[in-house]
């Protein structure tokens, strides 16, 4: 089966900085694929290229075989790509329900209330629909952001540092949630917490200086000497 999403020689430079440099990458249907690497490795630029938030300099991006390289971000959302940000991007002065309803509205024609409530229930926030989003705990705000992504009914859900700032109990709940989303939704996970990565991911791609250092299963990545030198270091115990 062809990859759900694929990049070929994808590049984006900022002056002399090669943030993303000739990256070949594939995301298979129904997998949880983690993207890891040191700070400044190009992870956020790469997913910004995938989602259309940053224009591609050279190379191609395909989704289910369709070339989407030049599509703007809002068109990629309609094609089924949802990106939740590294920093919570909720609307704090709107209710929890209204935050998700806005996402549903942007996605198209489904019955709005039904779709919004379904997304909130998926992340166990159904009982908080009337609460102001800004009054939620940080962990609940992150879940609300995921609900906003799920309301788009994405084929690909890109989660950028979703466990950052979560308590250990919240992280366990988040892992259960992510596992429940596949195989209907394919997950691309950008994450620094190696325990989360090794526990959740089917495959891992390691970026370093804007290039792919390695791709493989968690066991293969953990055993890769180049990855140990560049990134894992003391994680490999």
Looking at residue 22, its pLDDT comes to 96
DSSP 69: T
70-to-56, 61, 76, 77, 204 alpha-carbon distances in Å: 8, 9, 10, 13, 26
Tens of pLDDT, residue by residue over 105-139, are 877 656 788 999 999 999 999 999 999 999 999 88
Looking at residue 236, its pLDDT comes to 39
For the chain, domains (ranges, CATH) are 5-80+154-232 (3.40.50.300)
Confidence of residue 235 (pLDDT cuts 50, 70, 90): very low
Confidence of residue 232 (pLDDT cuts 50, 70, 90): low
Q: In angstroms, rounded to a whole number, what is the distance separating the alpha carbons of residues 153 and 223?
A: 36
Confidence of residue 212 (pLDDT cuts 50, 70, 90): very high
The DSSP result for 145-205, as a single string, is HHHHHHTT--SEEEEESTTTT--HHHHHHHHHHHHHHTTTSEEEEE-S-HHHHHHH-SEEE
Whether pTM exceeds 0.85:
yes
Looking at residue 178, its pLDDT comes to 94
Tens of pLDDT, residue by residue over 57-108, are 999 999 999 999 999 998 998 899 998 865 557 899 999 999 999 888 877 6
């Amino acid at each position: 089966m062809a990859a759900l999403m694929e990049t070929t020689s994808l590049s984006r430079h900022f002056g002399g900085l090669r943030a993303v440099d000739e990256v070949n990458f594939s995301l298979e249907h129904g997998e949880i694929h983690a993207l890891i690497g040191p700070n400044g490795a190009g992870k956020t630029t790469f997913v910004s290229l995938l989602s259309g938030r940053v224009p591609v300099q050279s190379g191609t991006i395909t989704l289910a075989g369709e070339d989407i390289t030049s599509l703007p971000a809002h068109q990629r959302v309609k094609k089924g790509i949802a990106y939740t940000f590294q920093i919570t991007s909720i609307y704090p002065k709107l209710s929890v329900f209204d935050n998700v309803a806005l996402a549903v509205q942007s996605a198209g024609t489904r019955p709005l209330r039904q779709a919004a409530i379904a997304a909130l229930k998926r992340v166990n926030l159904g009982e908080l629909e009337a609460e102001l989003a800004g009054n939620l705990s940080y962990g609940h705000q992150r879940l609300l952001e995921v609900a906003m992504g799920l309301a788009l009914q994405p084929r690909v859900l890109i989660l950028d540092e979703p466990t950052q700032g979560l308590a250990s109990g919240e992280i366990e709940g988040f892992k259960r949630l992510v596992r429940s989303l596949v195989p209907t939704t394919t997950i691309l996970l950008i994450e620094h917490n190696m325990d989360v990565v090794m526990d959740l991911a089917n495959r891992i791609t390691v970026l370093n200086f804007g290039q792919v250092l390695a791709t493989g299963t968690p066991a293969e990545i953990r055993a890769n000497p180049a990855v140990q030198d560049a990134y894992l270091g003391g994680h490999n115990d």
